[in-house]
A and B are shown apart, each in its own frame.
Chain A
């Protein structure tokens, strides 16, 4: 069965610092991988997705993620954090047979001035 693991339920960074949110996946077939962001009292918004094209995926708001098959990872990064990046971030894998999205437990990002 496919699954994702997000390391660190909370991450705190200073404004301007590098953001690194970790996600490892488990899948017996090449996966579709996603990062979603959720602001308070809102639904989830797609940040970026990997669907077996380029391994470095660029998303919205300056975020990017690199698919590393050897490490089964899909970590999310942003070179310089902004206060508006404070939110909860979810990594997800899509089961290619059923198209069901399986989410990680989420990482809450705090950005300090």
Chain B
């Protein structure tokens, strides 16, 4: 089956702009998590959505937001971009609770965001 798809793969934005990244999970997966990866901070958890509800949230400012649609596709939005937001943003999907698969995340290839 198809893997996790993230679009776009690369993005260049200017400081102050906003950006929306998209993630389509593996078919049948209802949980989508987002991570920010930077050389200095490593992999940091942004938030997780399950059945259109945010279940977990990391320690990021309110400029970072997300949502999940009824088909489990998810978007994350970053407003008022700062230079420090330049990073690889990774999306991961997981199976539903109670299946024993929870915690095994399947990652997309990421969106490389560069803020100039």
Contacts and interface: CB of A to CB of B under 8 A. Distances in A.
A43 B109 contact: yes
A51 B105 contact: no
Contacts, number: 60
Contacts of A36: 107
- Candidate in A42, A44, A51, A105 with the most chain B CB atoms within 10 angstroms: A44
Interface stretch (A14-22, A56-64, A69-77, A95-103): A95-103
Given A90-B43, A101-B33, A49 B107 contact: no
A98 B43 contact: no
B63 interface: no
Chain A contact patch, size range: 20 to 34
Contacts of A94: 102-103
The 6 closest A-B pairs by CB, nearest first: A94-B103, A43-B107, A103-B43, A44-B107, A99-B102, A43-B109
